[in-house]
Amino acid sequence: MGIRIDGKAVSAAFREKLKEDVARLTEQGMQPGLAVVIVGDDQASRVYVNNKKKACQQLGIYSEEYALPGETTEEELLELVNRLNNRSQIHGILVQLPLPRHIREKVVLEAIDPRKDVDAFHPQNVGRIMIGDYRFLPCTPAGILELIRSTGVPVEGKECVVIGRSNIVGKPMAMLMLHQNATVTICHSRTKDLAEVARRADILIVAIGKAKFVGADMVKPGALVIDVGMDRDENGKLCGDVDYEAVEPVAGYITPVPGGVGPMTISMLMKNTVTAAEMALEAAKGC
């Protein structure tokens, strides 16, 4: 049976260290500050925002929420982002996605100061990830790295297969594994013989958005399996992109859904906010 990777436990240990970092910065007069902007009444987004606020409170991070009506114009949202860019008390800015259809996500994300882009979606930060000279990492891929580290399984020299090529998870995840000296293959909807490719993986990372897509026949015995999915099965029960019950007996390590990748994502957002505050402190010292 595969060893279950407990994302809640890994996240809790990670946050204990973050508390110390927040306290240290606050003592130096630089309490990390995060602004979260939500537009409209998407219920899933509201849950995410509430969880982020709760995490800030637990860690001692100053936070502000801007809940804007769905009819907010793109211009109004950009004006708010600009104000937050110029607020010294705010070190991280997060605009919760998705945005209403009349607002262009690309324009809004590019308006965020790259030094405050704690989601790491700005093209400048994306480029830094590509060349390995990054300040922030996208929260979900960064959380996955921590989960892999928690197993003690070395990444260097291993064959890693990433199923999914999104800008949020798949692409940056592949780059990060490459920086860890893994040999990386990215699979997607047009990949031929996907199951055969997946079976080569020592480390299999699945972020495709299809409930229980990966079965035991797609997993190499003893592989480390990371399930990024958040889906509903035929009975409406929360599940991942991996058929956990089928794959667990084959895998060496495996993340559950829920309780795997999810808790780490918010922890890494908090980490990025702390990093942004550290950057601001260094800049202030250099003045």
Catalytic residue set: 52, 96, 119
Instruction: Please check whether residue 203 is in contact with residue 226, taking contact to mean a CB–CB distance below 8 angstroms.
Output: yes
Q: Residue 118's closest CA among 275, 286, 282?
A: 275
What DSSP designation does 84 have?
A: H
Distances (CA, A) of 29 to 24, 25, 89, 125, 249: 9, 7, 10, 27, 51
Residue 263 neighbours by CB distance under 10 Å: 22
Instruction: Please check whether residue 119 is in contact with residue 107, taking contact to mean a CB–CB distance below 8 angstroms.
Output: no
Dist CA 104 CA 278 (whole Å):
31
HSE (CB half, 13 Å, CA atoms) of 158?
21
Cβ-in-10-Å burial (0-12, 13-18, 19+) of 42 comes to: middle
